[in-house]
Amino acid sequence: MPIAETDVYDPSSNTWSTVAPNPSPTAAPGVATANGKIYFIGGCADSFCTPSSNVEVYDPGTDSWSSAANYPTPNSWEGCGGISGKVYCAGGINNGATLTTANVYDPTSNSWSPIANLPIDLWGGVAGAPSGTLVLSSGVTNGGFTITNQGFSYDPSSNTWSAIPNAQFPVYRAGGGCGYYKIGGSTGGFAPSANSELLSGLTQCGFSDIPWLDENPKTFDVPAGGTVSVTITFSATTADQVTQPGTYTGQLVVTSNTPQSFNPTPVTMNVTPPKGWGKMVGVVSGKDCTSKISPLRAVVFADGKGQKGFSFTLPTDKNGNYGFWAPASAGPFTMTASAVGWIPQTATSSIRGGKTTTVNFTLRPTIC
């Protein structure tokens, strides 16, 4: 069974430590890093490898977990990577069906969208996001009957896949990392391999630009024996930078053309709600045919009628919770809670400046 324990390695002290446990652990999820957070997408929910569509997000800045919008298809062994603040995933396996489908996750809208399909069906390959592309190599294809050494690279700017050089070793379930490295794996069954290889010409995984963080100058030369001062500016003034009050975390990364390396520096920005803003919160529950009430994973659509630009699509967490901040002038809000298999429910409420307003929903099943 998957275990919830989560451990973190600190290269500066060469030590491991145990952090907050994963609330919904799986085996063989797709894994990606974006915006200073780690995304665990899908995976095997049990020892029978029942595929999951859950997406759990770990924030090392706060040592906390949150849920993101479900992956479009229950999946495991897919290949994922973070590029320019978004998460890209492709391939995988669902109850024996090897997949070609691929999707991108946008944290700003908390939603997944389809992208161009992989040229072949593939699961159990090595994935990474070097040089601003999603790269997958090796794994199982041909409907699950063939271990391949083929590889492909996805370019988000053109929404296209292109072939990369074939790997030397056709394996599946191998480890890997940006650079682009491919380590170990199995040639069949559970027989491990010690073979490792490198696809040259690619850089390390790129770090996305944080819209609320600015550095000046961004590039510079350090004179021998001298110093250079860099001004760091935090900004939360426009919607494309920050849309909601709260705590925002990231990392300041320094690269150089010298043998010296630099550990990323954590950065945190706390955004307080502007004057006249309030918060809308609530819980979406389901009352089943036996009158038992339980929290639901649902979606709440909130449409502000008083001021443009304040409409929200809010997936709940696994406990049915949702919440958002908005100015009082944006109300009243018309809100609809919906979930597959349940009758949608609508409510209207206004936000009060400096206050928290609670609107709960209790949905009934479509069929009893």
Among 2.60.40.1120, 1.25.10.10, 3.30.460.10, 3.40.190.10, name the CATH number for the domain at 277-363. 2.60.40.1120
- 3-state SS, one letter per residue, for the chain: CCCCCEEEEECCCCEEEEECCCCCCCECCEEEEECCEEEEEEEECCCCCCEEEEEEEEECCCCEEEEECCCCCCEECCEEEEECCEEEEECCEECCEECCCEEEEECCCCEEEEECCCCCCCECCEEECECCCEEEEEEEEHHHCEEEEEEEEEECCCCEEEEECCCCCCCECCEEECCCEEECCECCCCCECCCEEECCCCCCECCCCCCCEEEECCCCCCCCCCCCCCEEEECCCCCCCCCCCEEEEEEECCCCCCCCCCCCEEEEEEECCCCCEEEEEEEEEEECCCCCEEECCCEEEEEECCCCCCEEEEECCCCCEEEEEEEHHHCCEEEEEECCCECCEEEEECCCCCCEEECCEEECECCC
Q: Model's pTM, two decimal places? A: 0.61
pLDDT in tens, 181-192: 888 888 888 788
Superfamily of domain 6-198: Kelch-type beta propeller (2.120.10.80)
Q: Average pLDDT, stretch 144-157?
A: 92
Q: Any idea where the domains of the chain sit in the sequence?
A: 6-198, 213-271, 277-363
pLDDT in tens, 63-122: 899 999 999 999 999 999 998 889 999 999 998 899 999 999 998 889 999 999 999 999
Say which residue, 279 or 213, is predicted with more confidence: 279
- Give the pLDDT confidence score for residue 218 in this predicted structure: 87
- Give the pLDDT confidence score for residue 335 in this predicted structure: 95
Instruction: Provide the mean pLDDT of the chain.
Output: 89
- Give the pLDDT confidence score for residue 306 in this predicted structure: 79
